[in-house]
Amino acid sequence: MSDNNALTRWHSACGKVILFGEHAVVYGVPAIAGGIQQAMRARIIQSAPNEIRVSIPKWSVDVCQGEHRPGTELFEAYLAFLLDKFQLASRGFCLELDPTITHASGLGASAAVAVASIRALADYAKRPLSDEDINTLAFGCEKIAHGSPSGLDNTLATYGGIQLYQRNGEQAQCSALQLAKPFRLLVALSGKQGFTAATVERVAKARAAEPQKYDAIFDSIGNITARASNALQHGELAEVAELMTENQLQLRALGVSCDEIEHVISLAMSQGALGAKLTGSGDGGAVIIAPGASEEKVLAALRNAGVQCFTITLGVRP
């Protein structure tokens, strides 16, 4: 779409990798996550009068308010929720989104859609919002998307950085971690989509049936996260990598890993990676790998096997 049609500038939001503590964080255990810069941009452009659309060309999404199309339910629901909040339902425009991450990959795409959309709509509605307001509204969107989310994804989408996050009932505590050294990671897509709402619900049912077993797993994950927080702040990156592998053992015990994820992890470890785990809700989606000195070898092996991957470095200023 040409810039002549633009009614606002582009607004951005972060994606995220969860380094430690996914799933356990839903039950009040601390988690550590890092933002993926420039994962999503949104702006408002002209549309036909009285027509309100969401368009995400890279994901082949183009849906009009009131339309119901298979696969676009989430965007329809976000649009309805946000139009009501901004009282924009009577104006014609198109909310255009431009992602650099894939959907259903555990990288916080739905929260990034929410935060970038809120920033663009607030600009269009001339309603300046604080980051705190944006995060609260995005949490509302995440509840539509995922039922009972921890709030970690929308927090990272809003603030980025590296955050130690803990939900405590209706409250959340979040503090930025200062890394002693930059931490380089490979993010590899398992090739299978992972759906957060379904996986979180499956874990909830399993925990309801066997609370002691699942709470013990969450406690172990909490312990790993605490050790990892300390190691990250002291630059002990080999230990962080080992703790990622330990966290993966617990995620396996929770039943949220799958063959596609395990395949990527074994390939990376066989090439000398120092640690690896799934990131996000699992059952597909992405894997994070601490490659250490073997980065080139691990990347080459993954790419030869047809695995899509990219690198991120946490702990450096953008």
Q: Interface residues with ligand MEV (CB under 6 A)?
A: 18, 22-23, 25-26, 146, 149-150, 152-153, 196, 200, 280-281
Nearer to ligand MEV, 33 or 82 (CB): 33
Nearer to ligand MEV, 79 or 256 (CB): 256
Sorted by sequence, the CB contacts under 8 Å of residue 250 that are 6+ apart come out as: 217, 220, 221, 224
CB of 281 to ligand MEV, least distance (A): 4
CB of 280 to ligand MEV, least distance (A): 4
- Distance CA(277)–CA(262), nearest Å, equals 9
CB of 148 to ligand MEV, least distance (A): 7
Residue 87: is it exposed, middle or buried by C-beta count within 10 angstroms (0-12/13-18/19+)?
exposed
Nearer to ligand MEV, 44 or 109 (CB): 109
Nearer to ligand MEV, 30 or 149 (CB): 149
> Do residues 9 and 21 make contact, with C-beta atoms less than 8 angstroms apart?
no
- State the alpha helices, DSSP H only, in the chain: 73-86, 109-124, 131-146, 152-159, 196-209, 211-233, 237-254, 259-270, 295-304
Q: Which amino acid is at 122?
A: A
Positive or negative torsion for Cα 279, 282, 286, 288: positive
CB of 271 to ligand MEV, least distance (A): 27
Angle, helices 109-124/152-159, rounded to nearest 10 degrees: 50
> Do residues 302 and 264 make contact, with C-beta atoms less than 8 angstroms apart?
yes
Bridge partners of residue 31, in order along the sequence: 165
Nearer to ligand MEV, 55 or 281 (CB): 281
CB of 191 to ligand MEV, least distance (A): 18
Nearer to ligand MEV, 96 or 260 (CB): 260
Nearer to ligand MEV, 55 or 196 (CB): 196
Rounded to whole angstroms, what are the CA distances from 4 to 12, 192, 221?
A: 20, 38, 51
DSSP state of 5: G
- Distance CA(33)–CA(60), nearest Å, equals 29
CB of 124 to ligand MEV, least distance (A): 28
CB of 12 to ligand MEV, least distance (A): 19
Nearer to ligand MEV, 47 or 110 (CB): 110
CB of 89 to ligand MEV, least distance (A): 29
DSSP state of 6: B
